[in-house]
Amino acid sequence: MGGTLAYYSTQGVDVHLICATRGEAGTVDPEFLENHKDIAALREEELRCAAKTLGLASVIFLDYRDSGMPGSEDNRHPNSLVSAPLEQVAEKVVHGIRRLRPQVVLTFDPVGGYHHPDHIAIHNATVQAFHAAGDGSQFPHAGNPFQPERLYYNALNRRRLRWLVRMMRLAGKDPSRVGRNKDIDLTALARDQDTPPHVSINYRSVEKRKHQADACHASQLDGRFSRFSLLELYWRLTGRRDTFTRAFPPVPDQYRSTDLFA
């Protein structure tokens, strides 16, 4: 959702990021680790570079360890996000909400975008924190109560994703093994329940800034997409828009808006 974050920062909105981990379970080519003590330090530097490019007001780390992809050994690390009790993570998010006092809270959808365990865990913690932040009887040591106005989930366009899966198969490519580490299954994502695109944010005016922020994450990029690659075509089909499902206050599935604050 970098395009959305950049768009609102240029509109004078204070945009803050709470990040649960530093991505230390990822794989990195050796040349990227020069002048960095470990993957976590590298990934933090890349994230801060992206945040500065997008115009974010702050980045806050919750200091959990990256849990890795489903079924990996990293899932069982004692400091991993998925090993932490939900109440503990939610309290940290509540503390952030009560300190920053945001009107709007954004997080992953219930399946974590692409089934990443940490994305699902922080989704669950954020949902609980959103509803608890305004209740002084919950997490009393996490600051003075404050209730944000709205909660949104990043919504994936699964209709286009199903089209991409069909095109990859026709091209002789395996849609169940994509990404830098071939550990993302697009076929499973395409089967997930559709999430209503209640809000569509056109970030065309800040597209260059978004791409510059993407480039900050150099260790996670597997080279540039070729001009005619199917993945590049998919991103072009999204029309330079981010879409969001409004989780609270609830709205009908057919609700449509072009502003998170409308």
High-pLDDT (> 70) share of the chain, %: 93
Q: Is 251 helix (H, G, I), strand (E, B) or coil?
A: coil
User: Rg of the Cα trace of the chain?
Assistant: 18
pLDDT level of residue 178 (50, 70, 90 thresholds): confident
Residue 239 binned pLDDT confidence (cut-offs 50, 70, 90):
low
Could you tell me which of 134, 161, 147 has the C-alpha nearest to residue 103?
A: 147
Using an 8 Å Cβ cutoff, are 171 and 234 in contact?
A: no
Q: Examine the pLDDT at 185 and tell me if it is beyond 90.
A: no
Kind of pairing between the strands at 58-61 and 16-19:
parallel
What's the CATH architecture for 2-157+196-229+240-248? 3-Layer(aba) Sandwich (3.40)
Q: What is the pLDDT of residues 52-82, one digit of tens each?
A: 999 999 999 999 999 998 889 999 999 999 9
Domain segments of the chain as ranges = 2-157+196-229+240-248
In the chain, the percentage of residues whose pLDDT exceeds 90 is: 71
User: Considering only CA atoms, which of 127, 194, 121 is closest in space to residue 155?
Assistant: 194
CB atoms inside a 10 Å sphere around CB 173: 16
142 φ/ψ sector (left φ>0, alpha ψ -120 to 50, else beta): alpha
74-83 as b/e, with b when 16 or more CB fall inside 10 Å? Answer: bbebeebbbe
Kindly indicate the confidence band of residue 194, based on its pLDDT and cuts at 50, 70 and 90.
confident
pLDDT of residue 222: 61
In whole angstroms, what is the distance from residue 121 CA to residue 67 CA? 10
What CA–CA distance (Å, rounded) separates 158 from 156? 6
Beta strand ranges found along the chain (DSSP E): 16-19, 58-61, 104-107, 150-154, 199-202, 241-248
pLDDT of residue 75: 95
Question: Is residue 237 very low, low, confident or very high in pLDDT (cuts 50, 70, 90)?
Answer: low
Give CA angle at 178 (174, 184), nearest 5°: 115
**Mean pLDDT on 214-220:** 91
Q: What is the pLDDT of residues 42-57, one digit of tens each?
A: 999 999 999 999 999 9
pLDDT per residue as tens digits for the range 149-177: 999 999 987 777 888 888 888 888 898 88
Quickly state the pLDDT bin for 224 (edges 50, 70, 90). very low
Q: How far is the CA of 258 from the CAs of 41, 61, 140, 193, 244, in angstroms? A: 37, 30, 36, 23, 10
What is the structure's pLDDT at 257?
Answer: 98
- pLDDT surpasses 90 at 259: yes
In single-letter form, the type of residue at position 174 comes to D
pLDDT digits (tens, 9 = 90+) for 19-44: 999 999 988 999 999 999 999 999 99
CA distance 219 to 49: 13
